[in-house]
Structure formats: C-alpha cells, structure tokens
Amino acid sequence: MPPSFHVLFTVNLFFPFLSCPNTLSSETGMDLDTWVSLHVQRHKERSVVLAQKMSVTSPDWKLRLAESNRTQVIVSQDGSGDFMTINEAVTNIPLHNTRRVVIRINSGVYREKVNIPKTMRFVTLVGNASDPPTITGNDTASTNSAPHVVGRRGEQAAALRISGTKAAFYSCSFYGSQDTLYDHKGLHYFNNCLIQGSVDFIFGYGTSLYENCYLNSVTKKVASVTAQKRSDSSIASGFSFKNCTVTGSGSIYLGRAWGDYSRVVFSYTFLDKIVLPQGWSDWGKTSRDRKVYYGEYKCSGGGANVTGRVTWARVLTDEEAMPFIGTYYIDGDSWLINPSL
C-alpha cells in the first residue's frame, strides 16, 4: 500500500517539529481531494519505477548495511503498538544508529514536537495511506498549530525543519502560513507532497528537488512562495521544482532573494495566474539582481507568461535546465532508495 504519509530519512537529520493537520481550506478542498487521489495513483506508479531503478544503482555501503538489518516498531495511541508517542519510539533508537528503523505510525492526531537528532540515521516514519496520521506540534514564535490566519507579525509556524542531509519525503502534507517548511540545509527530496503557506513558505539553504508537488498559497495579499538563502556563488544550494503545481490565493512571487546568490528553478510546472507578471523579487536589494539565479523552464498556466518578468530572471535553455531536472541534482543515486515498504 502506498503511504500517503511517509517520511523517509536516511542520514544526519534534525527536525524540531512536523505538523500535518488534515484540515484543508474550504476554497481549495475539492481541488486537493482530486489532487490527492491523482497523486496516490502516481505514487504507486513511481514506486515501481524506483524499485526498478534500485537494482541498477549503488547506495553507499552504510546504507546497504542498514537496509539489510531493518527493524520495525509500531506507534499506536490505543496502546496496541510498541509505543504510544512518536517521541518515545525515537528515544528508543540508538543515537548513533546503524540499522534501518521503520516507525509505523497508526492513524491519529499526535500532539507532539518530534525531534530526530542529527546523529540518528536511517530512520523512517511511515503512516497509513487511507487514514494518514497527523503530527502537530504546539509551539511557535507566538501562537501555535500552524495558524491559517495570515498577514500578522510573529506568526511564523514552521511545520518542519530539516537540517540533516539525505532526507526524503513522499506523500507528506505540510500545513502552515508564514515559513511552513524550513528547508534548512542538506540534500533533500520531496515527492508528491503538499506544501501550504503564505509568506516565504519554503525557505532556507537546502539543496532540494521537489518533484510532483503541490504548492498552495493561502496569502491574502502579496507574498513569495520561496525564500532561498544561498549566500555565496561557490555553494551548491538551491531549490528545484519539477512537475509541480503552484496555485492558491493572493498574488505571489515565485521567489525572493534571502541570500545574495539565491537560486530557484521551476521546470515543467503549472503556474496559476496568481503568479505576478514580474515573477521574482530581489527583496529590495538591487545589488542582488545580477547575483541571483532564478530560472523557469517549460512551465505552463496563466502565471507562466514571462513577458512581464524582471529583467534578471532567466528562461532556461535545455542545457541550462539540465542540471536541475533529475535526482542527480541532489546526488540521489547514492542515497535515494525505494520508498515502498
């Protein structure tokens, strides 16, 4: 069965909390339902492709070893599993873990802030596809539970912070408003995920590929979907969105430059008309205009017309797009493994 909530982590990670309330805003509910069923199907197909790919790639030996000695624990709030909270299950894993530990999380709303320490590798969280568990922390800068009200100061509510490298997320939904997903640093892969937010809702320094994801804006005014923080031209950091869908409310920039060399590419992506004609923002610092790397490649939709784009945005050629549009962008062949369990 394809997990509709499935977090697969491999090496070095740390995340204070992952919040996945199941609530959808009423205006987008219908679309999302259709989207979810479509993507569950697609995920099945993709799992097959990945399984085939697995046989010809060679993940590093520590990962192979971890895989060969896999173990599993069950978290269930009704006491029928090994643990009743996710944190208890995590605490039970050695800090310098060497085997794959699959934490199966039974359906339910888990009100806890899950923290997987950096040294704790080879940990997988997996939920039930037909009734995915919700993990919701109860802690933010000011208020909590990833508020859906937007436009007020101090309401940042990161649903997930991922600071470790080589982490993959399949069919997860991240709900928040400002700063939903802190893609802090490291190599990350997101497939078939929903990320919802208002201001800078995918932000950080990560080197990440987002494939087949749905980015839903809930801003009421003007906001940016991404705030990528690459700070130096020599750093291999940037967000690549491939075959995604960008829609929702308000008026949005695809990205604004948090770092001087901010790098974001959208390819084969449906951009709804809420995308502002200028497309990208330098955050008021014109010195960044010649440093940032903001590219679009074969996008479609009412927001993909590049006629009104800022002069420093790029329409990528095939050659320019190439480095961003495969899992090689995140060295995937060495660590991405078949997500079906």
Site for ligand NAG in 299-328 (CB under 6 A): 305, 307-308
> Does 107 engage in binding with ligand NAG (CB under 6 A)?
yes
CA distances, 129 to each of 79, 133, 267, 282 (Å): 21, 9, 28, 40
> Does 130 engage in binding with ligand NAG (CB under 6 A)?
yes
Q: Smallest distance, Å, CB 279 to ligand NAG?
A: 12
Q: Smallest distance, Å, CB 143 to ligand NAG?
A: 10
**Per-residue x/- track, 54-93, ligand NAG (CB under 6 A):** ---------------x------------------------
Residue of 179, 200, 272, 282 marked catalytic:
200
Residue with tokens 């790919």, as numbered in its chain: 53
Residue 181, classed as helix, strand or coil, is: strand
> Does 251 engage in binding with ligand NAG (CB under 6 A)?
no
Q: Closer to ligand NAG at the Cβ: 284 or 308?
A: 308
> Does 128 engage in binding with ligand NAG (CB under 6 A)?
yes
Total length of the chain:
341
- The b-or-e profile of 283-322 (16+ CB within 10 A means b, else e) is beeeebeebbbbbbbbbebebbeeeebbebbbebeeeebe
Site for ligand NAG in 23-42 (CB under 6 A): 42
Q: Closer to ligand NAG at the Cβ: 12 or 243?
A: 243
Task: Find, among 340, 288, 310, the residue nearest to 168 by Cα.
Answer: 340
Q: Closer to ligand NAG at the Cβ: 29 or 302?
A: 302
Residue 216, classed as helix, strand or coil, is: strand
Stretch that binds ligand NAG, among 124-132, 183-191, 215-223, 246-254 (CB under 6 A): 124-132
Q: Smallest distance, Å, CB 75 to ligand NAG?
A: 11
272 is catalytic: no
Distance CA 332, CA 187 (A): 9
> Does 340 engage in binding with ligand NAG (CB under 6 A)?
no
Residue 66, classed as helix, strand or coil, is: helix
What single letter denotes the amino acid at residue 76? S
Pairing relation of β-strands 270-271 and 245-257? Answer: parallel
**Per-residue x/- track, 133-172, ligand NAG (CB under 6 A):** -----x-----xx---------------------------
Q: Smallest distance, Å, CB 25 to ligand NAG?
A: 19
Stretch that binds ligand NAG, among 4-12, 26-34, 128-136, 227-235 (CB under 6 A): 128-136
Residue 179, sorted as left (phi over 0), alpha (psi -120 to 50) or beta, turns out to be: left
DSSP label of 300: B
What single letter denotes the amino acid at residue 125? L
DSSP label of 233: T
Q: Closer to ligand NAG at the Cβ: 88 or 131?
A: 131
Q: Smallest distance, Å, CB 334 to ligand NAG?
A: 21
199 close to 219: Cβ distance less than 8 angstroms:
yes
Q: Closer to ligand NAG at the Cβ: 71 or 233?
A: 71
Pairing relation of β-strands 123-127 and 6-9? Answer: antiparallel
Q: DSSP per residue over 247-262, as a string?
A: EEEEEEEEEEESSTT-
Number of residues this chain uses to bind ligand NAG (CB under 6 A) = 17
Site for ligand NAG in 188-227 (CB under 6 A): 212
Which residues make up the interface to ligand NAG (CB under 6 A)? 42, 69, 99, 106-107, 111, 128, 130-131, 138, 144-145, 212, 243, 305, 307-308
As annotated, the active-site residues are: 200
